[in-house]
C-alpha cells in the first residue's frame, strides 16, 4: 500500500510480513528503512513505530546519534507524544535539530559516584519544534575518562513515546524503542462542517 500522492518517489510503503506462527506484522517503510508499526491513532494523526535507539555507546557497535531523516515525507516526529530519555551517568547530553547549531535541549546526568551507581534513567528537557524531521543527540564525558566507574557506564539516548513504561533494567538491552510519528501538518483552531462535503478550519 503506497501513498498515491507520492507514488512516483516511492518514499512511503506499508509492508505486511508473515510470521512463523501464521500471524502478520506490519512495517512502515520510509526511504528504504523498515519500522515495525505498533499502533495508529487516526484522530490524533499519529503512528507509533519501533524506532532505532538514536545514541548508544556501551556495545561493540556505536551509534553516532543521528535520527532517521524524514525530510521530504509527510511524517515528522510528534512534538506532543514523545520525550528524550537517557541512561548512563557522568555525561552531558545535548540534543540538536537537523543543523547542529540549533540546540533543542539537554541535561546533565547524575554522578557515577552517587551510591556507586553506573547507570541512571531520566528525561531531558527539550523544545520540540512542530514538524521536526530529524535530530542529533550527543553525549560527552564530564569527568576524567580514566575514572574506573566511567568504564562501567553505558550511555543511551533515545526519543521514546510518552506512553512507554520505561524500566532501568530494560533500556540497556534494547535496540529499538516505541516512538510516535506525526502524519501531515497539524492545524489548531475551530473547524466547521459545511453543507457540502468540504470542511473549513481557521487556525489560531
What per-residue confidence (pLDDT) applies to 35?
92
**DSSP string of 152-170, one letter each residue:** G---EE-EEETTS---HHH
Reduced to 3 states, what is the DSSP secondary structure of residue 9? Answer: coil
The C-alpha atoms of residue 120 and residue 117 are separated, in whole angstroms, by 7
Strand-pair partners of 189:
203
The C-alpha atoms of residue 26 and residue 98 are separated, in whole angstroms, by 28
The C-alpha atoms of residue 120 and residue 118 are separated, in whole angstroms, by 7
Tell whether the model's pLDDT for residue 129 goes beyond 70: yes
- Give 196's pLDDT tier (boundaries 50, 70, 90): low
Tens digits of residue pLDDT in 117-127: 666 777 887 88
Q: State how far Cα 160 lies from the chain centre.
A: 5
Reduced to 3 states, what is the DSSP secondary structure of residue 114? Answer: helix
What per-residue confidence (pLDDT) applies to 2?
40
Delineate the domains of the chain, giving CATH numbers in brackets. 39-186 (2.60.120)
Residue carrying C-alpha cell 560527552: 140
What per-residue confidence (pLDDT) applies to 149?
46
Give which of 97, 103, 85, 90 is closest to 164, Cα–Cα. 85
**DSSP string of 48-85, one letter each residue:** EEEEEPSEE-SSSS-EESB----TTSSEEE-SSSEEEE
Task: Enumerate the H helices of the chain as residue ranges.
Answer: 168-171
* CB environment 89-111: b (16+ within 10 A), e (fewer): bbbebbbbbeeeeeebebbebbe
Tell whether the model's pLDDT for residue 32 goes beyond 60: yes
- Give 165's pLDDT tier (boundaries 50, 70, 90): confident
Amino acid at each position: 500500500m503506497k501513498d498515491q500522492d507520492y507514488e512516483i518517489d516511492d518514499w512511503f510503503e506499508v509492508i505486511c510480513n508473515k510470521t512463523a506462527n501464521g500471524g502478520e506484522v506490519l512495517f512502515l517503510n520510509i526511504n528504504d528503512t523498515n519500522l515495525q508499526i505498533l499502533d495508529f491513532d487516526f484522530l490524533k494523526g499519529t503512528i507509533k513505530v519501533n524506532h532505532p535507539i538514536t545514541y548508544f555507546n556501551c556495545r561493540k557497535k556505536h551509534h553516532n546519534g543521528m535520527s532517521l531523516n524524514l525530510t521530504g515525507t509527510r511524517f515528522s516526529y510528534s512534538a506532543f507524544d514523545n520525550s528524550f530519555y537517557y541512561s548512563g551517568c557522568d555525561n552531558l547530553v545535548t540534543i540538536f535539530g537537523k543543523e547542529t547549531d540549533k540546540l533543542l535541549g539537554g541535561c546533565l546526568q547524575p554522578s557515577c559516584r552517587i551510591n556507586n551507581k553506573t547507570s541512571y534513567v531520566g528525561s531531558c528537557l527539550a523544545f520540540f519544534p512542530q514538524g521536526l524531521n530529524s535530530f542529533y543527540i550527543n553525549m560527552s564525558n564530564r569527568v576524567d575518562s580514566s575514572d574506573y566507574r566511567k568504564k562501567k557506564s553505558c550511555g543511551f539516548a533515545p526519543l521514546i513515546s510518552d506512553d512507554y513504561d520505561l524500566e532501568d533494567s530494560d533500556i540497556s538491552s534494547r535496540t529499538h524503542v516505541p516512538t510516535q510519528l506525526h502524519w501531515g501538518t497539524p492545524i489548531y483552531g475551530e473547524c466547521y462542517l459545511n453543507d457540502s462535503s468540504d470542511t473549513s478550519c481557521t487556525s489560531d
